[in-house]
């Protein structure tokens, strides 16, 4: 039996028009063997969650540089839970102060990455999360 690929949706919610970092991360995830769906710019949380459900993803990775991270991350987590997709990891990065990262993680968001983080760190984090979350499914 072949190992199932990790499916990741990379989203750019809100009015932030800077997607270079999101595209770099998407390419790194793809190059590491993951299936990546990139939603493009200016997506609403509803758009992102709808796409995540339709594409049956394991991970939603948001890139937020606009300062709206305290609104957008929790909204995506809430909508996923409402859709019964609380098994989906919500992670991401952007310009997010450490104290906000702590608050978001306490609210159910996974690890968050700031500017300058090596893409290998995000790849490793998602792989480790996936392996841990799938442990026992083969039993």
- Ordered alpha helix ranges (H), the chain: 20-31, 45-55, 69-82, 98-106, 119-134
φ, ψ of residue 93 in degrees (nearest 5) = -170, 180
Residue 137 in this model has a pLDDT that exceeds 90 = no
Is the model's pLDDT at 52 over the cut of 50?
yes
Q: Please say if the pLDDT value at position 104 is more than 60.
A: yes
Residue 16: pLDDT above 90? no
Q: Is the pLDDT of residue 19 over 70?
A: yes
Domain residue limits, the chain: 7-131
Average pLDDT over residues 9-23: 93
The architecture that CATH gives domain 7-131 is 3-Layer(aba) Sandwich (3.40)
């Amino acid at each position: 039996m072949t190992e199932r690929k990790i499916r990741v949706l990379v989203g750019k919610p809100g009015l932030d028009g800077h997607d270079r970092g999101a595209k770099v991360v998407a390419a790194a995830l793809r190059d590491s063997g993951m299936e990546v769906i990139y939603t493009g710019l200016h997506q609403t949380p509803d758009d992102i969650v709808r796409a995540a459900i339709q594409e049956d993803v394991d991970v939603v990775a948001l890139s937020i540089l606009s300062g709206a991270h305290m609104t957008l991350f929790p909204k995506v987590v809430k909508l996923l839970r409402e859709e019964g997709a609380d098994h989906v990891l919500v992670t991401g990065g952007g310009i997010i102060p450490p104290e906000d990262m702590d608050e978001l993680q306490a609210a159910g968001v996974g690890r968050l990455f700031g500017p300058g983080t090596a893409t290998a760190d995000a790849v490793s984090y998602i792989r480790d999360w996936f392996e841990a979350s799938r442990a026992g499914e083969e039993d």
